[in-house]
Amino acid sequence: MQKNQTIGIALIILLIGVGYFFTIGKIQYSNKSQNVVATSSSAATTTMDIDGSTVSVSGTGEYTVKEIPITNNALKAPDFNAPLVFSSSTNFTEEQKSALRAKAAGLRAQLAKDPLNYTAWLALGSTHKTAGDYAQAEKIWRYVSSQWPTDATVLGNLGDLYMNFIKDYPKADASYLGAIRNNPRQTNAYRSLFSLYSGVYTTHAYAAEDILKKGIKNNPEALDLYVLLARHYRDLGRTAEAKAEYDMAIVIAKGQTNAGAADILADITDEQADIK
């Protein structure tokens, strides 16, 4: 019994020494970069109990302390001072390049003061993308997504980058779906996924209809999603379904009062009338 108590006290000292704290029903971790576990050097059965704030060990065998590194899955911040690399395909004038460099310099100054400035990181990624430096834009936005994992905007940006510039359609698909998961009201992601599925990512063509239906369910006032679905049905020859979606679009259009609403209503009505 005395041996067990001695082992228990020694283990408590070791655990506290590396920053572990045990409380009732909860384990609190310090910022230490290593973990500590007790291991038995014999084949005897051992148990470890957490009783209040006391750690006790019962059983036989000698105990040693083993260090286990803790893996950090967060992405490392990219170098925000990385220069803009202009793609030859952009055809910018020197004046335009100077304007983009000045924009990037201002954003770098903001990040130097506050390395967790979300808006500055997001805009810096856009600046690199505009310059045609897609690899750096991707690196920046992936970092932003890792730091702000519930943000939908940066995932939408990545989706556009992968779909329209890098041409990595599986990554575009995953990014847009992530944006919708984070914010089901982000209608741009539904539109983009529909274009992706019905256009270039043909292995997922079957999902084009469903993504619009999902968008309409989450955004019942989104006029353009009804029109896209109506056109999709029209092109497939599903006339009755197309007319039904146009009917819904017309109802929504009639309730709009923004500039150009009358022209939009007229266009939708004409499209429906053209269905044979």
Three-state SS annotation for 195-232: HHHHHHCHHHHHHHHHHHHHHHHHCCCCHHHHHHHHHH
Average pLDDT over every residue of 139-144: 97
The last residue of one of the domains, among 51, 69, 87, is 69
More confident of the two residues 276 and 195: 195
Report yes or no on 170 lying in a domain: no
Nearest to 221 by CA among 251, 266, 188, 176: 251
* pTM score of the predicted model: 0.72
Residue 252 lies in domain: 221-276
The pLDDT, as a whole number, for residue 159 is: 98
pLDDT above 90 covers what percent of the chain? 67
Residue 71 pLDDT > 70, yes or no?
A: no
User: In a 3-state reduction of DSSP, which class is residue 121?
Assistant: helix
The last residue of one of the domains, among 27, 47, 69, is 69
Measure the CA–CA gap between 150 and 172, rounded to whole angstroms: 17
Report yes or no on 40 lying in a domain: yes
Instruction: Report residue 12's pLDDT band, with 50, 70 and 90 as the boundaries.
Output: very low
Report yes or no on 119 lying in a domain: no
Report yes or no on 212 lying in a domain: no
Q: pLDDT per residue over 94-136, tens digit each?
A: 999 999 999 999 999 999 999 999 999 999 999 999 999 999 9
Measure the CA–CA gap between 159 and 136, rounded to whole angstroms: 15
More confident of the two residues 89 and 192: 192
Total count of domains within the chain:
2
Report yes or no on 207 lying in a domain: no
Report yes or no on 231 lying in a domain: yes
Report yes or no on 244 lying in a domain: yes
Measure the CA–CA gap between 129 and 127, rounded to whole angstroms: 5
Average pLDDT over every residue of 73-80: 85
The pLDDT, as a whole number, for residue 75 is: 84
Average pLDDT over every residue of 214-218: 98
Residue 244 pLDDT > 60, yes or no?
A: yes
Measure the CA–CA gap between 271 and 256, rounded to whole angstroms: 18
Instruction: Report residue 73's pLDDT band, with 50, 70 and 90 as the boundaries.
Output: low
The last residue of one of the domains, among 69, 94, 122, is 69
Report yes or no on 11 lying in a domain: yes
Residue 52 pLDDT > 60, yes or no?
A: no
As a whole number, the mean pLDDT across the chain is: 80
Average pLDDT over every residue of 255-261: 86
Measure the CA–CA gap between 18 and 20, rounded to whole angstroms: 6
Instruction: Report residue 18's pLDDT band, with 50, 70 and 90 as the boundaries.
Output: very low
